[in-house]
Amino acid sequence: MGCAILVVGPGEELGELARCFRSAGDECDVAQVVSAAEILERLRGGEPCDLVVVDYFLGDGKLSGTEIIREARALDGELPIVAVAEKGDVESAAAAVEAGAIDFLVRGGRLQERVSTLMGKVRKLLRLVEGNRLLREQNRLLQEADRARYRIVGESPQIIELIERIRRVASVPRPVLVLGERGTGKELIARAIHAAGGEPERPIVTVNCAAFTDTLLESELFGHEKGAFTGADDQVRGKFELAAGGTLFLDEIGNMSLSFQQKILRVVEYGCFVRVGGTAEIHTDARIIAATNVDLKERIRDGVFLQDLYDRLAFEIIHAPPLRGREGDTEVLARHFLNEFMREIPAFRGKRLSDSAVQVLGRYDFPGNVRELKNIIERAAYRDTTNEITPEDIGMLEKPQLHVEGGNFKEKLDAFGRGLVTDALERSGGNQAEAARKLGLSYYQFRYYYQKYSGAQ
């Protein structure tokens, strides 16, 4: 196992010590550093260093060994630091360890043997330190991947305003109601509020209220006691308990029955509930974020949604804007989804959206919103046999925009034919042979219709 060792301090004695460390392992890179300032600068700059050796009494002539150890320890809490001295005692060794050293090495006879023994202990420690660093790095990457998965992509004024509202409400522990059409990213907004509201380790639990009957939803949210019903062989904690200290996202809350809305209202008001089959009240501090794609005000007027529950949930109401109302975001999202798809499946790398594909996407209303756009882009990348995604790959070949003149059948038929010819010519760059092929006509048939409709214009 190779390692980088820095020996701090002037003098031939430390030079001899450096040679002993080199001899203790062929793979060790040992450097003698005269100034403590140099080693501290290296540590601040993130240069690799596995072990620091400091003369405990002499230091570097400016800072004492104790000061160097403390400053180095402050920069890296896991860095192994060894204090060395010509002579030592229990009191000096204890003081060095208190300052942050892992060991105290006394120079003198059998120095090489002592250094070899020390390196055996250091290598075990380095393996543990490296293992911990790898675990932290993996955890960091997983957290970044999770945040990336739920980040809100867009540059439109509507998204900028949305992010600002998320930022403002995230730190306020009150319910939030997210309204919007299907596919607009309501769960993404809920996760963004959760992520911005505290430590990332806090739980966020999602429940689709439309997927359960009242009986099953009660057990799902509140949990149940052993023997509460047939098959309840063990006590089970519900989603309110699992979300303790974090966020409970209730999706499709508009589909709850009136009787179950009363139970949710009690939890929102008092923060307490009872497990199915239980008697003890359980407190929950989970933040509730609810979402729906139905018009709750209309449901309140129809008597199928509680006004009180709406009022409790609506501390803040966030509207998820539909894609057609997000200026310029269709292209931004399309390129984002294509890049994500290529990153996930390397076999599709190297593809790009053609200008015509971007134009077609920009003119489409997307009734399924962002979710529909993502599906369209991924299917287009899969269908494409070249490196350029076209309207044909997207499956959105536009019909010609025809201005139908006149009112009788013949006039409308002529207008439609004229529009077909004009559109085919535009898509073929004025090449009549190519336009004929696009319409499935022979060149002479196309020439007939072209002359006919040109004369009629």
Question: What's the pLDDT tens digit per position in 35-66?
Answer: 778 878 877 776 767 788 888 777 777 888 88
Evaluate if residue 144 carries a pLDDT over 80: no
247-251 sheet: strands from edge to edge: 204-208, 247-251, 287-292, 176-179, 316-319
Residue 182's contacts (CB-CB under 8 Å, 6 or more residues apart) are 293, 368, 369, 371
Helix axes 432-439, 409-427, angle to 10 degrees: 120
Residue 191's contacts (CB-CB under 8 Å, 6 or more residues apart) are 150, 204, 249
H or E, element range at 409? helix 409-427
Query: Residue 456: pLDDT band by 50, 70, 90 thresholds?
Result: very low
Q: Which CATH number fits domain 3-136: 3.40.50.2300, 3.40.718.10, 2.30.38.10, 3.30.460.20?
A: 3.40.50.2300
Lowest mean pLDDT among 9-23, 260-274, 364-378, 429-443: 9-23
Question: What's the pLDDT tens digit per position in 195-243?
Answer: 888 887 899 999 999 999 988 999 999 998 888 777 777 888 999 999 9
Signed CA dihedral, 98, 100, 106, 110: sign only: positive
Burial class for 46, CB neighbours closer than 10 Å (0-12, 13-18, 19+): exposed
Is-contact 21 53, C-beta < 8 A?
Answer: yes
Evaluate if residue 29 carries a pLDDT over 90: no
CA distances to 263, 274, 303, 435 from 306, rounded to whole Å, are 11, 21, 7, 61
Max avg pLDDT among 139-143, 313-317, 401-405: 313-317
Evaluate if residue 330 carries a pLDDT over 90: yes
CA-to-CA distance for 349 and 384, rounded, in angstroms?
A: 12
Confirm whether 157-321 and 324-394 share one CATH topology.
Answer: no
**Domain boundary assignment for the chain:** 3-136, 157-321, 324-394, 409-456
Top-confidence residue, 269 or 443: 269
Q: State residue 400's pLDDT score.
A: 46
Average pLDDT over residues 261-284: 92
Choose among 316, 305, 392, 393: nearest CA to 348: 393
DSSP letter for each residue of 133-189: HHHHHHHHHHHHHHHHHTPPP--SHHHHHHHHHHHHHHTS-S-EEEE--TTS-HHHH
165: left (phi over 0), alpha (psi -120 to 50) or beta: alpha
Evaluate if residue 142 carries a pLDDT over 70: no
Evaluate if residue 121 carries a pLDDT over 80: no
Question: What's the pLDDT tens digit per position in 367-395?
Answer: 899 999 999 999 999 999 888 999 989 98
Top-confidence residue, 128 or 275: 275
CATH architecture of 324-394: Orthogonal Bundle (1.10)
3-state helix, strand, coil in the chain (%, to 5): 55, 15, 35
pTM for this prediction: 0.57
Identify any residues that bridge with 388 across adjacent strands, giving them in sequence order: 352
Q: State residue 37's pLDDT score.
A: 83
Max avg pLDDT among 283-292, 360-369, 383-392, 419-428: 283-292
Total number of residues shown for the chain: 457
Average pLDDT over residues 316-341: 94
Q: State residue 369's pLDDT score.
A: 94
Lowest mean pLDDT among 5-19, 161-175, 176-190, 431-445: 5-19
Above pLDDT 70, what percent of the chain? 89
Q: State the chain's mean pLDDT as an integer.
A: 84
Question: What's the pLDDT tens digit per position in 293-323?
Answer: 999 999 999 999 999 999 999 999 999 999 9
CA-to-CA distance for 29 and 5, rounded, in angstroms?
A: 6
Average pLDDT over residues 84-109: 82
Above pLDDT 90, what percent of the chain? 39
- The CATH number given to 157-321 is 3.40.50.300
Evaluate if residue 146 carries a pLDDT over 70: no
Average pLDDT over residues 254-273: 92
